[in-house]
C-alpha cells in the first residue's frame, strides 16, 4: 500500500511518526507501506513542515484517512463473504471473518471497493490501547 504525505523529513522524525500513525490505523506492518513524502506531483499540498503542525494537522488527517481505508476494505470483505462488518477484523493487511477464519488480503479487498473518494473529516478510530507501533 502506498501512503502519501505533503510533509518532508527535516531531521525531526516526522516521516517515522506519520508512518506509525498510518501503520496503526491500517493494521499493517510498516514494511508493507510505501511511504512517500512531499512529491509535488503526487502528494497532497499540506503547506509548511513546521512546529507541531505536522502531527496535529497532517497526523490527524492521515489517522482519519487510514481508518477510513481500513473500514472500506473491511466492509468490502464483509460484503464478499455475505456477513456483517462487525465480524470482520484485520491484522497485518489480512482481513479475517470470525469465527470461521475465512479471509482475504488488503490486495484482494481493494479490487472490491473504489478508494478514489474524498476522505471524511472524522472516522471510527481504533482504540489507542491496541496500538503496538506508535512509540517504538
pLDDT 10s digits, 51-102: 677 888 888 889 999 999 999 999 999 999 999 988 899 999 999 987 788 8
Give phi and psi for 67, each to the nearest 5.
-65, -40
Which pLDDT band holds residue 119 (cuts at 50, 70, 90)? confident
50, part of any domain: yes
Domain annotation covers residue 28: yes
Average pLDDT, the chain: 88
CATH of the domain at 113: 3.30.365.10
Output the CA torsion 8→11→14→19 (10° steps): 90
Across 42-47, average pLDDT: 77
What is the pLDDT confidence band of residue 110, given thresholds at 50, 70 and 90?
very high
Provide the pLDDT confidence category of residue 109 given band limits of 50, 70 and 90. very high
The count of domains in the chain is 1
Which helix (H) or strand (E) segment holds residue 55: the answer is none
In a domain, 128, yes or no: no
Asked whether residue 131 is assigned to any structural domain, the reply reads no
Better-predicted residue by pLDDT, 3 or 8:
3
Q: Which of 28, 30, 25, 29 is nearest to 59 (CA)?
A: 25
Could you tell me what percent of the chain has a pLDDT over 70?
Answer: 99
Nearest in space to 28 (alpha carbons), one of 106, 124, 135, 110: 106
Give the three-state DSSP class for 114: coil
Q: Which domain holds residue 97?
A: 2-117
- What mean pLDDT is predicted for residues 25-40? 89
pLDDT score recorded for residue 57: 83
Cα separation of 132 and 87, whole Å? 22
Amino acid at each position: 500500500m502506498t501512503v502519501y504525505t505533503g510533509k518532508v523529513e527535516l531531521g525531526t522524525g516526522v516521516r517515522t511518526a506519520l508512518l506509525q500513525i498510518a501503520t496503526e490505523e491500517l493494521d499493517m506492518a510498516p514494511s508493507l507501506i510505501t511511504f512517500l513524502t512531499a512529491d509535488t506531483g503526487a502528494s497532497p499540498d499540506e503547506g509548511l513542515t513546521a512546529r507541531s503542525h505536522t502531527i496535529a494537522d497532517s497526523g490527524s488527517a492521515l489517522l482519519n484517512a487510514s481508518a477510513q481505508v481500513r473500514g472500506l476494505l473491511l466492509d468490502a470483505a464483509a460484503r464478499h463473504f455475505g456477513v456483517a462488518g462487525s465480524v470482520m477484523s484485520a491484522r497485518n493487511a489480512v482481513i479475517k471473518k470470525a469465527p470461521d477464519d475465512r479471509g482475504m488480503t488488503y490486495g484482494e479487498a481493494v479490487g472490491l471497493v473504489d478508494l478514489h473518494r474524498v476522505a471524511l473529516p472524522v472516522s471510527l478510530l481504533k482504540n489507542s490501547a491496541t496500538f503496538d507501533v506508535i512509540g517504538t
